[in-house]
């Protein structure tokens, strides 16, 4: 299902796993494993955006024009720390991908994203850059992360998350209308603390067993 530049991956398996993740009784280890499985499935849909090219190959029986991915290796950019939970599943699917890191934390008073770390692979301009963070809440972190990815030279960027709020999508699209969003669901709203409702709580805390 695609609405504008937002794709909601409404595959039954994704929705089943997401429901398990929302459940407050799901323990840390299972939550982490589910995050890995859902990220694999979401990334599979994101890969539809990739360009391909025809290449001549020889099967054991005859010569054909096969299809391969075109261009430089994909770059996955994880927005630390919660984005790291999406990384392993994506690397299961795209093992040769390069990985960039954007370190951001949320100032709990202003809800603004504050940068503390940046590291990107070379030749960002030539790569499809998939920026990942599980929760598109206010949009501030995603907006800042993608801004940094653009400063690093990337021109083909996709944003992938697990849950999005309507407010976050609106904010994100105002700043980065050129960046498509992939998510498993769009929830109802944000609360006054910037948490997504009904949501799944703090994704980082649930994944890493912190409070």
d(CA 159, CA 130): 6
Give whichever of 20 and 47 is closer to ligand URA, judged by the CB atom.
20
Give whichever of 74 and 138 is closer to ligand URA, judged by the CB atom.
138
d(CA 148, CA 195): 24
Minimum Å gap between C-beta 100 and ligand URA is: 21
Q: What DSSP element (H or E) covers 196?
A: strand 196-197
First to last CA, the chain: 35
Q: What DSSP element (H or E) covers 135?
A: strand 135-136
| Vertex 26 angle, CA 209 and 191, to 5° | 75
Give the tokens for residue 128: 């499809």
Minimum Å gap between C-beta 135 and ligand URA is: 4
Give whichever of 146 and 152 is closer to ligand URA, judged by the CB atom.
146
Give whichever of 29 and 198 is closer to ligand URA, judged by the CB atom.
198
Which residues contact ligand URA (rule: CB under 6 A)?
A: 82, 135, 137, 194-196, 199, 202-204
Minimum Å gap between C-beta 106 and ligand URA is: 7
Minimum Å gap between C-beta 70 and ligand URA is: 35
């Amino acid at each position: 299902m695609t609405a504008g530049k937002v794709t909601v991956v409404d595959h039954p398996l994704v929705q089943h796993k997401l429901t398990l993740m929302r459940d407050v009784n799901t323990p840390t280890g299972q939550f982490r494993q589910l995050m890995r499985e859902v990220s694999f499935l979401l990334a599979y849909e994101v890969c539809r955006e990739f360009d391909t090219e025809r290449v001549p190959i020889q099967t054991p029986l005859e010569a054909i024009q096969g299809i391969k991915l075109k261009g430089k290796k994909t770059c996955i950019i994880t927005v630390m720390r919660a984005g790291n939970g999406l990384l392993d599943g994506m690397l299961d699917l795209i093992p040769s991908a390069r990985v960039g890191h954007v370190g951001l934390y949320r100032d709990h008073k202003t809800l603004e994203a504050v940068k503390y770390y940046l590291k990107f692979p070379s030749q960002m301009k030539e790569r499809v850059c998939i920026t990942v963070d599980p929760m598109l809440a206010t949009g501030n972190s995603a907006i800042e992360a993608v801004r940094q990815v653009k400063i690093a030279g990337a021109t083909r960027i996709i944003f992938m998350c697990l849950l999005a709020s309507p407010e976050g999508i609106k904010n994100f699209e105002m700043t980065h209308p050129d960046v498509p969003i992939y998510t498993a669901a769009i929830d109802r709203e944000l609360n006054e603390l910037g948490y997504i409702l009904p949501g799944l709580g703090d994704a980082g805390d649930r994944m890493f067993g912190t409070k």
